[in-house]
Structure 1
Amino acid sequence: MGNIKRVRYKTKRRQIVGERPGTISIADDALKPIITVYSYNEKELVCADGHDLKVILDQFKKCKDHTHWIQIRGLNDEKLIEDIGTYLKINPLVLEDIVNTHQRPKFDEYDGYFFTVIRQVYYNADNELCNNQFSAIVKPGLIVSFEETHDEHFEAVKARLAGGKGAIRTAGPGYLCYALTDTIIDTYFVLLAHIGDELDAIEDRLYSHADKSIMYDAQQLKRTLIILRRITWPERDKINDILRSENPLITAEVKTFLKDAYDHIIQVMDLIENYKEIAGSVIDLYLSMVSNRMNEIMKVLTIISVIFIPLTFVAGIYGMNFARIDPATNKVMPDNMPELYSPHGYIYTLGGMVLIGIIQVIVFWKKGWFTKL
């Protein structure tokens, strides 16, 4: 399992201070749009691909009695966004929020439609955490979704549309919006499972061969969990707002399924808090282990120092060389070292120093200073 890298934003915020509300300002690194139109009813599913408004209008003419899902992946076409807004009579503030891809999850109601935003968070092929925006406009018989990247995240929803089973073809665009939202929430569980595996691996490394990379990896996971917490709290509030809404596009059947999505986001929040505590405890445990290891090293050094301090004292005394007899005059000098020229004095001094060291070691051993070194 590879190391998790830093958070990666696909687009940068581009906004001029004081510009008119509703201005469409597209980031320089935004991708060119790919448009896919799914028109469906109880009997059939018709798909069409393109890059401009023409494919959408042609599909509307071709499939008049169908519900339409317009999937737009990539936002680097100001004219397309404006044309869609003009054709569908969308508030310019909504168009601004679509291209300004740093919105928090929200649910806004307008006359005849509603607008919703959710964050797509996942690991890409390079193991980088991507935090992208998914937004959708829902009108009677129509849902228009906008994504920052060309990556495909809704294979399961499209398979259900193709299969035609369940309520996905008959419950209206509100249900499809729920299905897309629920799919994104399910990816949070996949992401958290990956984080859980990473935390388990970090804990194994902590107990086997701890090094400073453990602290860095655990901190990166903690940062990821903080990002997820910033996303899931407003997402919970958003789903709660939808459940309280009286919008006819959100039927009683859709609300029943949204309650399940609400339960899922609560579970995600609980997992985030649990993993965040584990990541924090891993960091604290590593720092505690480093501190204990330093204490053990200081304990060893202290014992060595204590043993050698009296030996150094003895060696210092006999290193002063105050002779008992003056070698030039042969006069006895009082209060000087009488043992300086004693026979075997060097051996006796070394023996005394060794004996002092042995006595200290025995005393320290009985006091338990050598345990768990």
Structure 2
Amino acid sequence: MARFIKKKKKEIGLSPDELIFRGQKKADQVLLRIIDFDSENLTEEDVKTVKEISEFQYKNTVTWLNVDGLHNTSIMHEITSSFNLDSLAMAEVLNTEARPRIIEYDNCTLITAKMLRVDETTGKTLVENLSLILTKTVLFSFQEQKGDVFEPVRERIRKQKKRIRNGGTDYLTFALLDIVVDNYLYVISVLGEKIETLEENLLLNPNQNIINEINNYKRELNFLRKSIKPAKEMIFSLAKTDSDFITDSTYVHFKELEDNISQANDATDNYREILSDQLNIYHTTISSKLNDIMKFLTVFSVIFIPLTFIAGIYGTNFEYIPELTYKYSYFIMWIAMIIVAISMLLFFKKKKWF
């Protein structure tokens, strides 16, 4: 299955605001979880229907509605109509293959990004689409499947951390995006450790398996860059946007995200260069070994050329050869051959040819 771009033929020509799920089903059922809070009060519960949560939009509190699973379009229709959201925004939510970006609408702001995690069994990097719809009092987060990646944010709300409990939906948006970017750094660090270990093995034992690993890591890095680079553009745009739903005090935190996402982006570029250097080191090492082998074979051949000459003269098929009647001729030939071989080896060593 293609990991970089996916497009179904039946989606071509559809209206941009048509609520059709464009992606891979990753959850059996859609789960709705709501957290409603202010500085003093907290309500947290799992709900069955959208009707149960529509009243929260009229309260003077911060409401966070998390939706796990996007395949049930009827629920998405209910959310859109109950909260008077722009259908274009919800259509973007249902398109899980869309590029990370920020889009402003009349009554909401849409933010999309890719969440990354490492599969513990295969070691591959998995991606999940995250969509946030920001309004004045309600923040909607849409995930493709249930996960606990945002549990630290929920714990901060439960423990009455002042900054998040006194902040609005904009600060809550920052907290979620901060988790996403931190996971970028973690995934890159896991892959980076493998790449750095590979460099040690490359110097000790270069072989074809090393080349296969380098190519695998290059593919994984390219896959990371596909998500991280657009996310960097989105966060830089978010820090500069003039939105009615973001207060001036929260823009400072979005600036912090710029530093973190830049660090993640730079790390992928650095490791990409390291892999290219490792590939060059591999080819250089193999060429050096081949040169050593050729040098040895050359020295070996050069030594045996005069020995072959001497043996050729000794075996010349003529009837009258003076040395044939001398009983020590055979031993004299061997002594001469040994002296020639040793002399040539000493000469090569003096010239530092081996």
Query: How does the TM-score come out when normalised to structure 1?
Result: 0.84
Whether 2:151 is the aligned partner of 1:155: answer: yes
Distance in 2, matches of 1:140 and 1:218, equals 48
Distance in 1, matches of 2:184 and 2:250, equals 21
Whether 2:159 is the aligned partner of 1:175: answer: no
1:29-61 CA distance string (max 9 Å, x none): 43232221111122122112145424434x639
Task: Answer yes or no: is the 8 Å Cα contact 1:219–1:283 preserved in 2.
Answer: no
Aligned partner letter, 1:40: F
Aligned partner letter, 2:335: G
- Which consecutive unaligned segments of at least 5 residues does structure 2 have? none
Q: 1:34 aligns with which of 31, 35, 43?
A: 31
Distance in 1, matches of 2:212 and 2:42, equals 49
Whether 2:315 is the aligned partner of 1:365: answer: no
Q: CA deviation at 1:276?
A: 2.5
Q: Which moved more, 1:358-367 or 1:133-142?
A: 358-367
1:168-212 CA distance string (max 9 Å, x none): 223221111111011111112222322332233223323444443
2:115 equivalent in structure 1: 120
Distance in 1, matches of 2:53 and 2:9, equals 29
Distance in 2, matches of 1:29 and 1:313, equals 79
1:110 equivalent in structure 2: 105
Aligned partner letter, 2:344: Q
Q: Secondary structure at the match of 1:201?
A: helix
Whether 2:351 is the aligned partner of 1:354: answer: no
Q: Structure 1 28/208 Cα, relative in aligned 2: closer, same or farther at 3 Å?
A: closer
Distance in 2, matches of 1:66 and 1:11, equals 40
Task: Answer yes or no: is the 8 Å Cα contact 1:14–1:27 preserved in 2.
Answer: no
Q: Structure 1 351/197 Cα, relative in aligned 2: closer, same or farther at 3 Å?
A: same
Q: Which moved more, 1:289-298 or 1:239-248?
A: 239-248
2:70 equivalent in structure 1: 75
Aligned partner letter, 1:92: S
1:201 equivalent in structure 2: 197
Identity of aligned residues (%): 28
2:136 equivalent in structure 1: 140
1:73-99 CA distance string (max 9 Å, x none): 122212222222233333333333222
Distance in 2, matches of 1:153 and 1:20, equals 33
1:137-196 CA distance string (max 9 Å, x none): 111211111112222101111011112222322322111111101111111222232233
TM alignment of 1:83-102, pairs within 5 A? 83-102=78-97
Q: Which moved more, 1:297-306 or 1:14-23?
A: 14-23
Aligned partner letter, 1:311: L
Distance in 2, matches of 1:9 and 1:159, equals 34
1:315-370 CA distance string (max 9 Å, x none): 34555x53326xxxxxxxxxxx5655654443333333223222211221221123
Aligned partner letter, 1:128: K
Q: Structure 1 69/356 Cα, relative in aligned 2: closer, same or farther at 3 Å?
A: same
1:293-324 CA distance string (max 9 Å, x none): 121111111111111122233334555x5332
Q: What is the root-mean-square deviation in Å for CA atoms of aligned residues? A: 2.8
Paired residue total: 350
Task: Answer yes or no: is the 8 Å Cα contact 1:178–1:258 preserved in 2.
Answer: yes
1:334 equivalent in structure 2: none
1:164 equivalent in structure 2: 160
Q: Structure 1 26/78 Cα, relative in aligned 2: closer, same or farther at 3 Å?
A: farther
Distance in 2, matches of 1:275 and 1:109, equals 35
